[in-house]
């Protein structure tokens, strides 16, 4: 998002020697959030795989794809962790409704896509990835590794009794996955 997206353009151009030969799938992260993720949405418009239930143009904020490698068939879910990091509580009622709708849409899509992939029995591996992690232990970035990571796992508060809804980890638990990968934290953990 720096320099009106030019920093991202330079980065992607530097990667072109690799991405012209190897499949490359990006996921929206905190550096793509400027202008409502418009740089990401337009730069990767070929990722438009999800049809909006309200008839809006397709969006590319979450999707899945299949990959074949070494005789194995792999199903990969690309998830949008950034939906959980908008300032939900200082948003207007209309914005909160839109955020909740998008989280619900992605959550329902995850459950449906993962169920279909797993129940089909045709995949050797099922992976999922997003920009931010569910768990991390860095002490230099406490909000990210405590409160913020919990948002992905549990979702957003939904009731007076401490209930939560739309947690990504909850959606991924409907069927087993083999690997979840994330970034954001500038460290390696597994």
pLDDT tens-digit map of 43-80: 776 665 555 555 555 567 888 889 898 999 999 999 99
pTM, two decimals, is: 0.85
pLDDT tens-digit map of 102-116: 889 899 999 999 999
pLDDT tens-digit map of 134-166: 888 887 767 778 778 888 888 888 777 878 889
Query: What are the two backbone dihedrals, phi and then psi, of residue 175, each rounded to the nearest 5 degrees?
Result: -145, 155
Return the half-sphere exposure (C-beta side, CA atoms, 13 A cut-off) of residue 68: 2
> Which pair of structure tokens corresponds to residue 41?
């949405």
């Amino acid at each position: 998002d720096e320099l009106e997206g030019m920093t991202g353009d330079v980065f992607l151009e530097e990667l072109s020697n690799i991405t012209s030969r190897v499949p490359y799938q990006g996921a929206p992260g905190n550096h793509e959030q400027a202008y409502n993720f418009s740089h990401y949405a337009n730069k990767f418009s070929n990722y438009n795989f999800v049809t909006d239930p309200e008839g809006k143009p397709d969006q590319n904020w979450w999707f899945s794809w299949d990959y074949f490698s070494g005789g194995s068939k792999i199903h990969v879910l690309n998830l949008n962790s950034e939906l959980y990091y908008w300032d939900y509580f200082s948003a207007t009622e209309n914005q909160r409704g839109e955020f909740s709708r998008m989280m619900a849409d992605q959550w329902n899509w995850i459950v449906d896509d993962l169920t279909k992939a797993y129940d089909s029995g045709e995949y050797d591996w099922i992976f999922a990835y997003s920009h931010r992690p569910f768990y991390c232990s860095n002490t230099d970035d406490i909000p990210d590794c405590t409160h913020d990571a919990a948002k992905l796992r549990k979702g957003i508060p939904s009731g007076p009794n401490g209930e939560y809804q739309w947690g990504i980890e909850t959606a991924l638990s409907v069927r087993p996955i083999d690997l979840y990968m994330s970034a954001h934290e500038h460290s390696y953990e597994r």
